[in-house]
Amino acid sequence: MEKKNLKKLIEELEFKCVTGVNLLDKEPKWAYVSDLLSDVMGKAQPQMIWVTSQIHKNIVAVASLIDLSAIVIVNERKPDENMLKLAEEEGVVVLTSDKPAFETAGMLYRDLAPQPPKGKRGVFKRT
């Protein structure tokens, strides 16, 4: 399947880009959903997109530390000025989604998942 960069994902999934507009040619590897920063620090991998409802400014540092490709803030939550300023400084892409985490993650999964092997899923064989 064709690899999608952030710009393409934003267009398709109707995210809004709030910081890092000139960094959207990154190709995200996969995504991780969590609201616990300690968990993200331990488990998320570089180049992943992070889906969260946290808007505390520490999320910027975590994204920068692990080199995540973007943060998607869900549920129309509004990040504050301080956090956005820090994200611009650190070169962290912050996107917002007006959908809840489950829907946002579902759309990302659909777009980022490798194609399932043919004939192995969803086929009911009568014996």
Partner 1 sequence: MELGHKNNLFVIGGCEINTQEEVHCLAYFRDLQLLNEFQQYLDEHLPDIKNDASLFGHQVAVDEFDNIIYEEEKLLIAALDVDLETVAEKVLSMGGVFIPAHIDKSKNSIFSQLGFMPFGLKYSALEVSWRTSVPKFIEKYPKLGNEKFIQSSDAHYLEDIGKVYTEFMMEKLDWENFVKEFAP
Give the binding site for partner 1 (CB under 8 A). 35-38, 40-41, 54-58, 61-62, 80
Question: How far apart are CB 49 and partner 1 at their closest, in Å?
Answer: 18
CB atoms within 10 A of CB 121: 7
Determine contact, residues 24/93, Cβ cutoff 8 Å.
Answer: yes
Question: How far apart are CB 55 and partner 1 at their closest, in Å?
Answer: 8
Taking alpha carbons only, the member of 44, 12, 46 closest to residue 27 is: 46
Question: How far apart are CB 89 and partner 1 at their closest, in Å?
Answer: 13
Residue 86, token pair as written in the block? 């820090």
Residue closer to partner 1 (CB basis): 21 or 36: 36
Residue closer to partner 1 (CB basis): 18 or 62: 62
Helix (H, G, I), strand (E, B) or coil at 4: coil
